[in-house]
Every structure is written in C-alpha cells, then in structure tokens.
Amino acid sequence: MWYIGATECKVAVCQFIANPIAMATPRCLVLTGAVFLAALMLTSTVSHAFIAPAHKTTSPEAAPPTQALPTAALSALALTTPTAAHAAEGVWIPALSAVGAGFAIGLAAIGSGVGQGIASGRCIDGISRQPEVADDLRGVLLLSLAFMESLTIYGLVIALVLLFANPLIK
C-alpha cells in the first residue's frame, strides 16, 4: 500500500508552488476535454433544430426505402458542398445563412471589442508614462479605434447581406 507522509506532501506542494507550469498540461487536457464535451452536447441539441423537407412520392412502392442520415451529418455536408445544400424546398440555405450571419457579427464584435480594449489600455499606459504626448496619442488612438470599428461594420454588412440579399437563394 502506498502511503504519503506529511513531509512528502509538503515537498509536493512546494514543488507545485515553485513550478506551476508542471500542472499546466493536465489542466489544459482537462479543460480541452470539458470544452469538447460541451461542444458535443451543443451539437447534439442543435442537430434537432433543422427539419428535413418532406419527400413527395406518388406511391410507396415507387420510392426505395432509404435510411435517414443524422441531421448533423447533413449539416456538415451542406457546409462542405454547396450543391448538396439545395433541398427540395430550399430549407438549408436560409437556415445556414442565419447561422453564418450570427457568426459574422458575433466574431466581428468580439474581435473589435478586444482590439479596442487593448489599444485603449496601451494608450492610457503611454499617457501615464509621458503626459506631454497625450494629445498625439489621443489622436492616433481615435483614428485606430475608427479603423477597428469599421471592421465591425464590415461584419454587420456581411450579416445583413446573408440575411436579406443572399446571392445563394434563387
């Protein structure tokens, strides 16, 4: 039987405090596994959101029996091959366009927000170190914030095009 005494525990705790990078790999593996499980659960719940269109057949004998693919597999196929996305009633293109529009505006807003926060923080640091160049830094900051915000507006334009003027919908 394995027994750890109090001195061994103190040594292990001291080694962990002295070298916290030693625990970085197991922590990353646990967090990666947690994110993977969360994504798997999200995929399984979202896969029930899309409803396949009804197939129009004249008689039951005319159509051979087919097995239905999982909706997630159909979604992946629709994302990879645009010709497979044209369903009988055109269900996939508007649905995936709405998802793409959400990703476009969400990623644009997140990226712009992080960039603006970092730029503003660095500008404040620069002004606090050298107050005599505050006017120059403020002008450069406002110009760079305007450029960063224009990227968010591009994301908004892409989202609006996908929602209201989608070139993929005939």
Interval 80-96 mean pLDDT? 61
**Domain 70-170 class in CATH:** mainly alpha
Confidence class of residue 33 from pLDDT cuts 50, 70 and 90? confident
pLDDT at 19: 60
d(CA 119, CA 54): 53
Contact 138/126 with Cβ under 8 angstroms? no
What are the residue ranges spanned by the domains of the chain? 1-46, 70-170
pLDDT at 139: 92
Contact 152/106 with Cβ under 8 angstroms? no
Confidence class of residue 168 from pLDDT cuts 50, 70 and 90? confident
Interval 119-125 mean pLDDT? 94
Contacts of 79 (CB under 8 A, 6+ apart): 85, 96
Contact 72/42 with Cβ under 8 angstroms? no
pTM above 0.85, yes or no: no
> Residues, the chain, total?
170
